[in-house]
Amino acid sequence: MFDDLKKLEANEKISKNDVLEVLKKWAKKISVFDIMTSTYKFREACKYVRNEYKGHFDDIYVKNFYMRVGEIAHSQNNYEGYVPKEKFIKAIDFFTTQDKNRDKEELKYTHNNQRTIYYIICVYTTFIVEEPIHHVGSTFPGHTKVKEINGKFYCPVKANNTPNSKAVCRFCLSVQG
């Protein structure tokens, strides 16, 4: 997928629709079984999360993350405009490096396209629909949430996670808040 996205760098301007076409191609390779397996792995990873947050995780992450793959794969939307080329290229380079540096535990999940889903959603939300990666309403410990106020997105955990090499917060449209 990264090679396909990186090819767009040759364009003088990178249209949102060109990015969407690449994402659609890769989203169509994600099966319902991939989504089911990834959802199961996500829920397993969250089994020690306090009960008061578990319902939020299903609502926000499963519905707005995994289920969005089908929306992307079959999108007939026409998105006006272009992605910010420099930021887009930096993001694709970052994701490529991040993907190559996965640890052995993460490599076990290669077969179910879990990481592909992750990258598709990150690129789609950030560069095409211009929304934060964590959907508005995503709840974090302390009952803090991602919010939208006057068209600007605020995330309560962005500042703490931006330096994390495994987090994509540095490319998210939200600001600390």
pLDDT in tens, 20-58: 999 999 999 998 888 888 888 877 877 887 777 666 666
- What is the model's pLDDT at position 148? 94
Residue 35 is assigned to a structural domain of this protein: yes
pLDDT (tens digit, 9 = 90+) per residue, 60-104? 677 777 778 989 999 999 999 999 999 999 999 998 988 887 765
Residue 28 is assigned to a structural domain of this protein: yes
DSSP states along 80-130: -SB--HHHHHHHHHHHHHHHHT--HHHHTTGGGTHHHHHHHHHHIIIIIS-
Q: Compute how many other C-beta atoms are within 10 angstroms of the C-beta atom of residue 63.
A: 11
How far, in Å, CA of 65 to CA of 51, rounded? 20
How far, in Å, CA of 82 to CA of 76, rounded? 17
Higher pLDDT, 114 or 147: 147
Higher pLDDT, 112 or 149: 149
Residue 145 is assigned to a structural domain of this protein: no
Q: Compute how many other C-beta atoms are within 10 angstroms of the C-beta atom of residue 94.
A: 15
Q: Tell me which residue range forms the domain holding 71.
A: 2-134
Mean pLDDT of 134-156: 88
- What is the model's pLDDT at position 167? 81
Element (H, E) at 62: none
- The pLDDT of residue 110 is above 60: no
**Nearest Cα to Cα of residue 167 among 177, 155, 153:** 155
pTM here is 0.86
- What is the model's pLDDT at position 48? 81
Residue 101 is assigned to a structural domain of this protein: yes
Of 18-32, 44-58, 124-138, 159-173, the range with the lowest mean pLDDT is 44-58
Residue 39 is assigned to a structural domain of this protein: yes
- What is the model's pLDDT at position 99? 82
- What is the model's pLDDT at position 39? 81
- How high is the mean pLDDT of the chain? 86
Q: Compute how many other C-beta atoms are within 10 angstroms of the C-beta atom of residue 59.
A: 14
Residue 142 is assigned to a structural domain of this protein: no
Quick one: tokens of 98?
């991040």
- What is the model's pLDDT at position 128? 96
What residues pair up with 154 in beta bridges, in sequence order?
Answer: 147, 175
Higher pLDDT, 3 or 35: 3
Count up the domains in the chain and report the number: 1
Residue 97 is assigned to a structural domain of this protein: yes
Residue 15 is assigned to a structural domain of this protein: yes
- Assign 15 to helix, strand or coil: strand
